[in-house]
Amino acid sequence: MAAPFTLRWGIVATGGIAECFVRDLVTDPSLRGVTDVAHQVVAVASRSVDKAQTFIDETIPADMRAHVTPYSSYADLYKDPAVDCVYIATPASGHYACALEALRAGNNVLCEKPFTVNAQQARHLAQVAKEKNVFLMEAVWTRFFPLVKTFQRMLHEEKMIGRVHRVFVDFSVYIDPEKNKRLYQASTAGGALLDLGVYMNLWTLLTCYHHPENKRSPPDVIKAAMLRSPLTTDLVDESTSVITVWQKPNIMCIGTTSMMTDTPKECLIRVQGSKGEMIIPIHASRPEKIIVNLEGNGMNTRTYNYDIPGQGLFWEADAVARDIRDGKKEDDLYPLEECIFAMELMDEIRLQTGLKFPDDVEKVQS
Ligand SMILES: NC(=O)C1=CN([C@@H]2O[C@H](COP(=O)(O)OP(=O)(O)OC[C@H]3O[C@@H](n4cnc5c(N)ncnc54)[C@H](OP(=O)(O)O)[C@@H]3O)[C@@H](O)[C@H]2O)C=CC1
Ligand SMILES: O=C1OC[C@@H](O)[C@H](O)[C@H]1O
């Protein structure tokens, strides 16, 4: 058997998700049945070199740690020739500037969600990636779950529940303001919409935007409402609701997101069709189960379970490794056009609800 293609990662920022991502990168790919690609962490950058070194010591097994360089600035990591792909895991407010600098230095980039703060920034990154002829993708990891592929096949190809009429999506997680300051500050582009709403919009796109009769068109109606958090003078949103109407496939979609309350365990995504319904219990970001209720002589329920041998971030990493191995500059499953469309949807929701971040967070560099 041929040796796997190994992608060498540079990690930018050492917070919660960077730790989860690296723990997944260092797991043996064969445990998830993958033999064609593998991963190696070769550099970690933090605003403090001690923090970078501690991160390396705590997340990377001793036998894989010898050739990992700690950096005291993100910019230094972008210049490291040993890095094949930079993973950006700063708060949302930092994504655009970090990704831009990394791309301009000639790096392939996987950038955490939300990709940027607005669509103009997203379009700019896509343009720079094209000019530099490098790979770029937003790290919406859930898109790469085997369960999601099956869900889309059952819904759109097999039409298991017949014609889709309505979709309900909720992604809500209580976020403690004391423990998660970044989400209660406008300076770090906080609030439920940009952080959790990415998953609300993800399932809206998977069910409606991807519907074969919709042909990747925008919705005909978008109506948004927002509740601002009284816990901060920054007035970030604690809850946001969005109704979209997709005329071509004739679907009404109701999406909700909140950082003040949790999604009920039993139902997070409910797609109602002419022959039954499909339900995904929590979590929208890390789904493990599809429940299909088919109407007939009594309700016929089938449950499809999916094991996740880790956190599940490795599936997006595997996709990036294959793309870079094959010389692709964007991913077929999640192309930049769709990522920009998702940011345009965010912009429209923010326009209707008046949610603005400080000028230095929203700005686009020349
Ligand atoms: N895909 C997923 O499942 C998840 C994705 N995310 C996304 O990842 C990103 C990071 O989230 P998360 O890891 O939870 O955040 P954390 O607050 O845990 O970590 C963010 C890191 O960014 C660096 N940083 C740079 N500038 C700042 C700043 N002004 N304030 C605070 N930290 C800063 C710090 O690293 P250092 O000190 O080393 O420079 C910090 O540790 C967000 O965009 C979030 O939406 C978050 C959770 C899950
Ligand atoms: O991206 C995310 O942000 C918020 C988390 O609670 C969620 O699980 C994660 O996927």
Ligand 2 centroid distance, CA of 20 (Å):
11
Same fold, 5-142+313-334 and 146-307+346-353: no
Q: What is the overall mean pLDDT for the chain? A: 97
pLDDT above 70 (res 297): no
According to the model, what pLDDT value does residue 267 have? 76
Q: Which of 112, 138, 178, 311 to mutate to test the pocket of ligand 1 (most atoms within 8 A of CB)?
A: 112
- Is a pLDDT exceeding 80 seen at residue 36? yes
- What are the structural domain ranges in the chain? 5-142+313-334, 146-307+346-353
* Nearest ligand by distance to the CA of 113: 1
Give the mean pLDDT of 152-158: 98
Protein residue with its CA nearest to atom 8 in ligand 2: 285
222 lines ligand 1 (CB under 6 A): no
Q: What is the mean pLDDT of residues 299-314?
A: 94
Residue 159's pLDDT band (boundaries 50, 70, 90)?
very high
Q: Which pLDDT value is given to residue 233?
A: 87
Q: Helix, strand, coil % (nearest 5) of the chain?
A: 35, 25, 40
Q: Provide mean pLDDT across the span 128-153.
A: 98
pLDDT per residue as tens digits for the range 354-364: 999 999 999 99
132 CB less than 6 Å from ligand 1? no
Q: How far is the CA of 196 from the centre of ligand 2 (A)?
A: 6
Determine the CATH number of domain 5-142+313-334. 3.40.50.720
Distance 89 CA to ligand 2 centre (A): 13
Which residue's CA is the closest to the ligand 1 atom numbered 4?
A: 17
Over range 285-302, report the average pLDDT: 89
CATH of 146-307+346-353, one of 3.30.70.1880, 3.30.360.10, 3.10.580.10, 3.65.10.10: 3.30.360.10
Closest ligand 1 atom, residue 198 Cα: 45
- The predicted pLDDT at position 249 comes to 98
Q: In this prediction, what percent of the chain has a pLDDT beyond 70?
A: 99
Please tell me the predicted confidence (pLDDT) of residue 174. 97
Give 149 Cα–ligand 1 centroid separation in angstroms: 28
User: By alpha-carbon position, which residue is closest to atom 40 of ligand 1?
Assistant: 15
Provide the 10 A C-beta neighbour count for residue 184. Answer: 21
Distances in Å between the alpha carbon of 332 and those of 112, 322, 340, 343?
A: 18, 11, 14, 18
Residue 51: CB within 6 Å of ligand 1? yes
Distance 17 CA to ligand 1 centre (A): 7
DSSP string of 247-290, one letter each residue:
TTTTEEEEEEEESSSPPPTT-SEEEEESSEEEEE-S-SSS--EE
- Which is it for the CA torsion 346, 351, 352, 353, positive or negative? positive
Could you tell me which of 6, 3, 49, 12 has the C-alpha nearest to residue 26? 6
- What one-character DSSP code corresponds to residue 33? T
Q: How far is the CA of 45 from the centre of ligand 2 (A)?
A: 22
In this structure, the residue with its CA closest to atom 2 of ligand 2 is 196
Ligand nearest to the CA of 115: 1
